[in-house]
Amino acid sequence: RNLNSAFNSLNNRGGGGGDGPLYNVARAAGAYTAFANGGNGGNDPYGDVYYERAGGRAAATAGQRLGCGLCGLLWGPLLLFAGCALLFANEGWAVRTRRSLDEALGSYVEIDAGAAPPAGAADRLVHLTGPIVVSSPASDADFGLARGDAIALTRRVEIYQWHEKKSTTRRKLNNGETEVTESYSYERRWTGSPVSSGGFRHPEGHENIGFLPFHSATFRAEGVALGVYALSDSLVAKIHTQYDVPATEARTLPPGAEVQGNRIYFLEHAARDRLAAPPDPTDGRVARAEATAVGDVRVTFQEVRCATASAVAALSHGTLVPWHSREGPGYDVQMLVEGTRGAHDMIVQAQQLGTFLSWARRAGGALLNLLGFAGITGLVATAADVSVGWIPLVGPAASSIIGLGVCIANVVLASCTSLLVASVAWIYYRPVLGFSMLAGSAGIFYAASRAGGGGHRKF
């Protein structure tokens, strides 16, 4: 550490360019010191320091700043158009989704999941509750693992690898230069694919080895049904609660595999020699904490189990499929949840979710409008800063006030535009509410204009 500090000090006195021989020696000393202190394998810190001369990165000229402001006139309208399009489309989606769910609320019929459908239930929206069953279980042939009560079986394969993390800090020096510190830290963790250590800043001591003998995969059961009624793939996908599967359930272990707790490991030879602690019969995490080596591979299994479920869907030739509402394509109704749930509760919950999503899209559209107006009016703030910012004492304050005024104007313009677009959309879909929103938007705009005009006359 003393050697590194001394060389950095001498290098600063010589100009601090960060490209001289003293600097290179100091950086090498710093890297060696970091490796010696942090090379124990957990989280290794490394640091590189270099210096930017004041003349090496000149401040932007007035012309360059105005040019950047002019760029806002290009991307600002694009963001504004995207925000308005999102708001208009969202209102249509919200109205039509609500209509389709209201239609479903008054159209469904109850049927028994374990009995033949009643007369007149074909092609209608039905609600039923019953057990989920499969005709062919989900299985993993590579490990001889078959789960008769599982809808899906997921195999997750991970490898233990080094990972690099970089962070950069800057510090102004008294001589006008900027000291840039690039810090690199290294940690080992499980990941889904091998990591190449060739691109690491400090690959020494952090070489990644190993490969994946198998890949992650999901195996699905065939003939999934709710009671006596088959389920479409889109409904099966709505069941996704996963549970861990003990590794001891695997009937076939590939060469080189070992069962440790709830996992199957493929260990490097170095790790095999370091296995001193006995395996944890429940999890194995504590026993293997100090024995894991780079290149080790672990395999875990999870399953989606058959359970009691409730569904709201159309019944077509003995299969539950999406129900087509009068709103057309894109507004089909199909629901499936675990447990016993009534149709009314399921549809009302879908309406609440639709309301939340529509408000989230409104917020996104309004934000796009705000960013669009900020790009369009950015030239005004930049021109004001260039014009008066150079004046001592008064200039920076005046520039800040003008920037604040532009910001407030952007908020007002974005709010009015968002309300205007939403009201036009509602006029198209629901005229009464749309005209009310249009009147509110006009009122905000009028109040803002009167406030600005009154302040001008008073001044």
Per-residue pLDDT tens digits of the chain, which is 459 residues long = 444 444 444 444 444 444 443 333 333 333 333 333 333 345 567 766 666 554 444 444 556 666 676 777 888 899 999 999 999 999 899 989 999 999 999 999 999 999 988 888 888 999 999 999 999 989 999 999 998 889 999 999 999 999 999 999 988 777 767 788 889 999 999 999 999 999 999 899 999 999 999 999 999 999 999 999 999 999 999 998 999 999 999 999 999 899 988 899 998 654 444 444 444 444 444 344 447 899 999 999 999 999 999 999 999 999 999 999 999 888 999 999 999 999 999 999 999 999 999 999 999 999 999 999 988 887 777 776 666 655 666 666 777 777 788 888 889 999 989 988 988 888 888 777 667 766 776 676 677 667 655 544 443
Please give the pLDDT value at position 395.
63
pTM > 0.85: yes or no: no
Distance set, CA 57 to CA 14, 15, 61, 382 (Å): 20, 16, 12, 21
Looking from the CA of 162 toward its CB, the CA atoms found within 13 Å total 24
Please give the pLDDT value at position 453.
54
Please give the pLDDT value at position 284.
44
The radius of gyration of the chain's CA atoms, rounded to the nearest angstrom, is 33
Please give the pLDDT value at position 34.
37
Residue 337, both tokens: 């949840």
Q: What is the 3-state secondary structure (H, E, C) of the chain?
A: CHHHHHHHHHHHHCCCCCCCHHHHHHHHHHHHHHHHHHCCCCEEEEEEEEEECCCCCCCCCHHHHHHHHHHHHHHHHHHHHHHHHHHHHHHHHHHHHHHHHHHHHCCCEECCCCCCCCCCCCCCEEEEEEEEECCECEEECCCCEEECCEEEEEEEEEEEEEEEEEEEEEEECCCCCEEEEEEEEEEEEEECCCCCCCCCCCCCCCCCCCCCCCCCEEEECECCEECCEEECHHHHCCCCCEEEECHHHCCCCCCCEEEECCEEEECCHHHHHHCCCCCCCCCCCCCCCCCCCCCCEEEEEEEEECCEEEEEEEEECCEEECECCCCCCCCCECEEEECCCCHHHHHHHHHHHHHHHHHHHHHHHHHHHHHHHHHHHHHHHHHHHHHHCCCCCHHHHHHHHHHHHHHHHHHHHHHHHHHHHHHHHHHHHCHHHHHHHHHHHHHHHHHHHHHHHHHHHHC
Please give the pLDDT value at position 302.
95
